[in-house]
Structure 1
Amino acid sequence: MAQLVQLDSILDIPADRWDALCSDGQPFVRHGFLAALEASESVSAASGWVPAHGILKNDTGEIIAAAPLYEKHHSYGEFVFDFAWANAYAQVGLDYYPKLLNAVPFTPVCGPRVLAVDHNARRELAQALAELPGSQNASSLHSLFVDDDSAAVLRESGAIARRGCQYRWYNRGYDDFDAFLAQLSSKRRKEIRRERKRMHDAGVEVRVLRPQDIDAELWQTLYAFYGRTYAIRGQAPYLTPAFFNELCQRMPERVRFFVAYHRERPVGMAFMMLGDDTLYGRHWGCETDYHSLHFETCYYAGIDYCIEHGLTCFDAGAQGEHKIRRGFEPVATWSYHVISHPRLAAAIDDFCVREADMMESFQREQRERSNFAAHPAHGT
């Protein structure tokens, strides 16, 4: 009979044994990314993220399934907002924290959450995870931004489904950026060309750099840009400087920095990562607020990169209805939630059903407002 074991650190399992369970090239559930978060202390008990990774072993001690898992004492850095649920717990005199989180910290990207050698092992681990809140004095278990394979077994375990919406750009075999623009309405083509021309006329150029292209001085500048994004909201950055150093050592082939230069001086950057067929935009920052710099650095340069390198999808990050006007399409995202308290579970289930109906209508309206000449077939 398989046994669930929990690890205090991803560093307690060899990288090759964890990565052997990863069925696709998505970088965020790989050992290198999760290890960089912990080794840099971006994820730790001090930051309210206590690693408690779930490992399923068979009778011979072989690891057959795994899940990135954390004990959480707040709801920040998740991007599926449950503050109202925490308030509901408080109103009936119960503690919502600690809760358990099956997700990638600070990373609202859909992907595998229950890794396994096969479907049966995935199902067995999902069921074991669903039983953890009751045995560990946790209010709940939350699996965020779940892919289809993980979603199937989480539904079987009795988890409550919650629908969200993100925006992605799809490459339909475009030869160049103008070929992509040709698929948009005349109004949107003109707006995008005007934004790009504004950057060109200002002397701004975006260069795609790999870790080995960045010296110590430039790195300090880029991290300062990243930190400013949080500082203007009165927050500390989620990621420490050491995170980027760790990640660039562990997964250099997956890391790209899109750096905007104004007359040879860096003024902004977008940190991105590569999957096998997808570019992922993750973090952004700049020296000061230049008009259209964000769109050029975070969106248009990424689209250019996908076209040039034959990538099929560009996931530029969570939220942002303004992406619709720039050729991105709405797609459904799903998270799954196990709530220990029966009455609150019923209330949250009812809320999620009603919310899903509203999100489906919202996504349909967004698609109808799409700026493509003909509505594409993605994003169901």
Structure 2
Amino acid sequence: MKTPDEAPTSPAELQVRPLTGLAQIPAARWDACATSAETLAGGDETHNPFVSHAFLSALEDSGCVSRRTGWLPLHVSVEQEGTLLGVVPCYLKSHSQGEYVFDHGWADAYERAGGSYYPKLQVSVPFTPVTGPRFLIAPGQDPDLARAALVAGLRALRQETEASSIHVTFMQEGEWEAAGALGFLQRVDQQFHWDNAGYADFEDFLGALASRKRKAIRRERRDALANGITIEHLTGAALTEAVWDAFYDFYVDTGARKWGRPYLNRRFFALIGERMPERILLVMAKREGRYIAGAINLIGDVALYGRNWGCAEDHPFLHFEVCYYQAIDFALARGLKRVEAGAQGEHKLARGYRPVLMHSAHDIADPALRRAVADYLVRERDHVAEAADVLGTMTPFRRAAGSDKEDDA
């Protein structure tokens, strides 16, 4: 078997095939790579719904990702002597929107210096700040050799497209380490996740919190539903077009206020409702017979992934109830190990979510820009690590088992 140093790194040794859409590869072949033991090694999730053919193709077939939106699909398939080594979800980008790992400062500096930062290659799931595999390795392939080949394929594509750089975002930590060994610059950020420590139910989870925090959450949950609001968990066949219509109205309102233009259209939600209904959870709030708020989650084998939220009426703490507490309820009922509630939000700490590091890797062609970014990332990693340490002391969990003394002051 070849060592990593002997892995093929020249495009001449590889067959690098850019795919301008998921329609160019059978779903079964893509999904076999996305769920292979080689791809998932090092993580605990066995089915990440965001890298599935169903999810990614729905983004394309709905027109949410396209040349027009600045997300031109250019997925990478790499073969050697007719054997598939792996695939990579990749997009040729003409901007830096919808990524959640911000490089606007790098782009501005490079443009001011006379360079062209765009196009760039983005290896990610569009509009989705969720960690998952990015180097999808074919079953039976050596992971180190396959990753080296996929990186070689990406670099060949960067040259062919005259892209300034390659950005691999929200990647698994093992992939991040491998990318660093292959010459990528390494970046970290943080999110907030809820971990299931074997709780029997929500009350059992509350029992792990300091008394003052426990009382606050009980009060929030009570107040959120005080105006006759009820909550529904909808998945599978319950995801009717009427339900999607209601949720989409909420999504559009929130998206318009956050980004000016929502990233996802109504057809996208219809397509994922058709193609992967058992992997979707809508948490919908209803009052006086009509839906007034909702949040969409995707269901993995191990984790629940919270995504978008919106509402037609404002009620105290309803956002926390629909997005965070109901997600915990569902995860506990399903025996899931984790809830990932999306990007940002230090307010999640008080609701039992903990800081977790996110990983991205960046390969920049221009030596001067690469040096400047590398210097910046050293300082940024130190800052993120320090912030995570501080935030880790601000969780609502009891400091000593059986003691709520810190809340009695």
Is the TM value for this pair above 0.5? yes
Q: Equivalent of 2:338, from 306, 313, 326?
A: 313
From 116, 126, 130, give the equivalent of 2:155. 130
Residue 305 of structure 2 aligns with an amino acid whose one-letter code is Y
User: Do structure 1's residue 78 and structure 2's residue 78 form an aligned pair?
Assistant: no
Cross-structure match for 2:58: 36
Asked if 1:214 is matched to 2:239, the reply is: yes
Alpha-carbon offset, residue 374 of structure 1: 3.6
Q: What is the rounded CA distance, in whole Å, between the counterparts of 1:207 and 1:81 in structure 2? A: 35
Equivalent positions of 1:15-94 (< 5 A) are 15-22=27-34, 23=36, 24-60=46-82, 62-94=83-115
CA shift, 1:29, in A, is 0.7
- After superposition, the C-alpha distances for 1:59-99 in whole angstroms (9 at most, x for unaligned) are 12x32200000000111100001110011111101111111
In structure 1, the residue matched to 2:41 is: none
- Corresponding residue for residue 7 of structure 1: 19
Q: 1:237 matched to which residue of 2?
A: 262
Q: Give 5+ residue unaligned stretches, structure 1.
A: none
Provide the TM-score with structure 1 as the length reference: 0.95
CA contact (8 A) 2:93 2:120 kept: yes
How far did residue 234 of structure 1 move? 6.0
- Check 1:95–1:339 CA distance in 2 against 1; reply closer, same or farther (3 A cut): same
> In the TM superposition, what is the alpha-carbon distance from 1:204 to its structure 2 partner?
1.6
Task: Tell me the CA shift for residue 344 of structure 1.
Answer: 0.8
SS at match of 2:122: strand
SS of equivalent residue, structure 2 residue 332: helix
Moved over 6 A (4+): none
**Is 1:78–1:107's contact at 8 Å kept on the other side of the alignment?**
yes
Contact in 1 for aligned 2:234/2:281 (Cα 8 Å): yes
Asked if 1:155 is matched to 2:180, the reply is yes
How far residue 178 of structure 1 moved from its aligned partner, in angstroms, is: 1.0
- Structure 1 window deviating more from structure 2 (217-226 vs 326-335): it is 217-226
Q: 1:328 is aligned with what amino acid?
A: Y
| Amino acid in the other structure paired with 1:216 | E
- C-alpha distance in 2, partners of 1:346/1:224? 45
Relative to the length of structure 2, the TM-score reads 0.89
User: 1:329, 1:367 within 8 Å by CA — same for their partners in 2?
Assistant: yes
1:332 aligns with 2:357: yes
- CA offsets per residue over residues 133-175 of structure 1, 9 Å max, x none? 3342111100000103322331122010011000000001111
Unaligned runs of 5+ in 2: 1-12, 37-45, 402-409
CA distance in 2, matches of 1:364, 1:93: 39
8 A Cα contact 2:239 2:273, kept in partner: no
Residues 257-287 of structure 1: CA deviation (Å, up to 9, x unaligned):
1111123321100001000110000111110
Verify the 8 A CA contact 2:195 2:337 in the aligned structure 1: yes
Deviations 1:103-161 (A, max 9, x none): 00001001100011331212221233234333421111000001033223311220100
Name the stretch that deviates more: 358-367 or 238-247.
Answer: 238-247
User: Relative to 1, partners in 2 of residues 1:215 and 1:134: Cα closer, same or farther, differing over 3 Å?
Assistant: closer
1:204 to 2:229 alignment: yes
RMSD after superposition: 1.5
Number of residues of Structure 1 aligned to a counterpart in Structure 2:
375
Distance (Å, rounded) in 1 between the aligned partners of 2:169 and 2:115: 23
In the alignment, is the contact (CA less than 8 A) between 1:52 and 1:70 conserved in 2? yes
Question: Which 10-residue stretch deviates more, 189-198 or 225-234?
Answer: 225-234
Q: Distance in 1 between matches of 2:86 and 2:159?
A: 21
Q: Does residue 145 of structure 1 match 2:167?
A: no
The percent identity for this pair of structures is 41
Does the CA contact (< 8 Å) of 1:112 and 1:149 recur in 2?
no
